[in-house]
Amino acid sequence: MKFDKNTVIGIVLLAILFGLYFWQVNKTNEFYMTQQKHVQDSIARVEATKVKPVDAKLIAKEDSTAKVGKSAGFSTSAFGKEELTTIENKLIKVTFTNKGGRIKHVELKAYKDYNKKDVVLGNDSAFLTYSINTSNISTVPTDELFFAANPVVKNNDNQSIQFSLKDSSGRVINHTYTLKENEYTVDWNIDVQGAGSLFTGNQVNFILKSSPNQAEASQQYERQMTNICFSENNEFDYISSKTEHLFEKPVQWVSVVQQFFNTTIIAKNSFTSGNLQWKRGIDSSNVLGQVNASLQMKIPAGAAVSIPLQLYYGPNDYTILNKQAPGMAKIVNLGRDVYAFVRPINMYIIRPVFDFFAGLVANFGWVIMLLTIFIRLVTSPLTYSSYLSGAKMKALKPELDGLKKKFGADQQGFAMEQMKLFREAGVNPLGGCIPALLQIPIFFALFSFFNSNISLRGQSFLWSHDLSQYDVIARLPFTIPMGFGDHISLFTITAVITSFAISMYNMGSTPTQDNPAMKYMPYIFPFMMLFFFNRLPAALTWYYTVSNTLTLILQFIIQKYIINHDQILAKLQEARTKPKTKSKWQERYTQVMETQKKVQEMKEKTSKK
């Protein structure tokens, strides 16, 4: 396709108009947000003047009295000073608090966040607790009571710590945590004496609250990848766009999943029921979302009860998760829901081949290139047949162009003669679509794979500092909507340019198009890619760049040196002399076209009269 002067001017003007539009929209939004903030601040100042001062000492005294009454036999544990204790192995550092006898947070030693600090899972607003009966009329969640912390015990490669809670009647609750060497999982055993009076109906009501914090450079993208996974009745499921879920069958584990990390509670005896609420973060804080879950567990009747649990704080690594509870490996999103068809591709082709090349080459950028070459080699037979079909179409192009001139505006007549020409020459006009169709499942498979592959996290290649995130060569002073963002990704630019080049190359082998929509089709898809790809991981846009480059090279070599166009033309001429039988589809298509042609002729005659 040739670029005429008007086309170039039109594209430049469109680009300028789009830029001005996005700049104006961004400025308008900033002004609106500033005005709204001024209004809200003014309202807050007015409301603050209406609030009457309170007696802090009186409130503290009333709270203390209420705590004592609510805690009943555990009143001595209602007050205390928070004390922290840590145990660690080579992988994680676990910080415990005596308030609730629970894990306060966990640091992952092998992973850094966007601030170059150890990734921290859990925070002050995240905890796992359960309620106990302190009297016949009152209950208290354990996170409001202060446990007695016992010294850390080391046994070979294991470390354990126990927190104890006792009341005046002799009821005892012990929380024992054990951390093994080279493990991300902490064993948590709850041993209870006096369970019959502490829990109503032999049921423990657990409360899980979590507010995962940002760990990746792109807060918005990490929020998009964050979701809640669980195993209900030994079947994996998750919620992402939904905001709640009711558990009606036994639950084996519940996991708060970020893009590359997760926090999971595993019940060895299963939770019997429960529900959870999920709200994705939308403000400017580093909180990705809010999780509130209520999980019920039936326990055996008796005074002494032991409840075995496990807590996983670690990476979304398929190999590691596969060794945890059944189904946890599916936390790594290799294809779900409408994209479930790509999971076998990732499981049995992409992942093993990627791991194989990763064992040979240290740099993951070259691993992706080798993976791309492998994919192109595997699909080469189908690709070759596609190029052969394209070569046949190119050989017929002069005749097709002649037919277009002959029939002019008579589209039905041209379509019938074109189908006749294809049938006589034995050409499949859809044969050239095979590469595009192949790209669809491969693209979605790699989209899932690169988004969830933690081995790419922090890996640099060329100008990209992290292949699991988009690369940035320039920051914009404004945000472009429709997913583009406030940055420019060079790998996206290279992917768009090579995609544009393929479209232009392919247009040269198709008949001349009078339809403006078809004429400018090469510009549409690359333009859409520019917005969609700009926030995708650099691994994916690098793959697309390599794949497109290989496509261009293969097309040139095959068309120039492998396919003999004179032989193809001779074979086409020979095929046209042989008798042909129409398929049912061709017969129906011909009938439809003939009917449309007759209708068009009748309309023309009527209009002339």
pLDDT in tens, 314-323: 999 999 999 9
pLDDT at 459 over 90: yes
The distance of Cα 496 from the centroid of its chain, to the nearest Å, equals: 22
Q: Is residue 247 a contact partner of residue 271, using CB atoms and an 8 Å limit?
A: yes
pLDDT given at position 62: 42
305 vs 197, 198, 204, 579, CA distance in Å? 12, 11, 11, 86
Q: Which of 247-251, 378-382, 391-395, 397-401 has the lowest mean pLDDT?
A: 391-395
How many other CB atoms sit within 10 Å of the CB of residue 41? 10
Three-state secondary-structure class, residue 309: strand
The distance of Cα 491 from the centroid of its chain, to the nearest Å, equals: 19
Write down the domain spans for the chain: 1-53, 59-332, 342-588
How many other CB atoms sit within 10 Å of the CB of residue 480? 21
With b meaning 16 or more CB within 10 Å and e meaning fewer, what string describes 419-446? bbbbbbbebeeebbebbeebbeebebbb
Q: Which amino acid is at 553?
A: I
Tell me what the mean pLDDT of segment 122-137 comes to.
81
CA atoms of 351 and 366, how far apart (whole Å) = 15
pLDDT given at position 246: 95
**11 burial via Cβ count (<10 Å: 0-12, 13-18, 19+):** middle
Q: Is residue 26 a contact partner of residue 479, using CB atoms and an 8 Å limit?
A: yes
**Per-residue pLDDT tens digits for 254-275:** 999 999 999 999 999 999 999 9
**Per-residue pLDDT tens digits for 494-529:** 999 998 888 777 665 555 555 555 566 666 777 788
Residue 59 or 538, more confident: 538
Residues near 124 by Cβ (< 8 Å), separated by ≥ 6?
104
Ramachandran angles phi, psi of 170, nearest 5°: 95, 5
**Per-residue pLDDT tens digits for 569-583:** 676 666 656 655 555
Q: Is residue 341 a contact partner of residue 236, using CB atoms and an 8 Å limit?
A: no
Quick one: CATH architecture of 59-332? Distorted Sandwich (2.70)
Residues 397-405: contacts with CB within 8 Å, 24+ apart? Answer: 397/509, 397/510, 397/511, 400/511, 401/511, 401/512, 404/511, 404/512, 404/514
User: Average model confidence (pLDDT) for the chain?
Assistant: 81
pLDDT given at position 77: 84
**Per-residue pLDDT tens digits for 43-71:** 556 555 554 554 444 434 445 555 555 66
Cα radius of gyration rounded to whole Å, the chain: 33
pLDDT given at position 370: 96
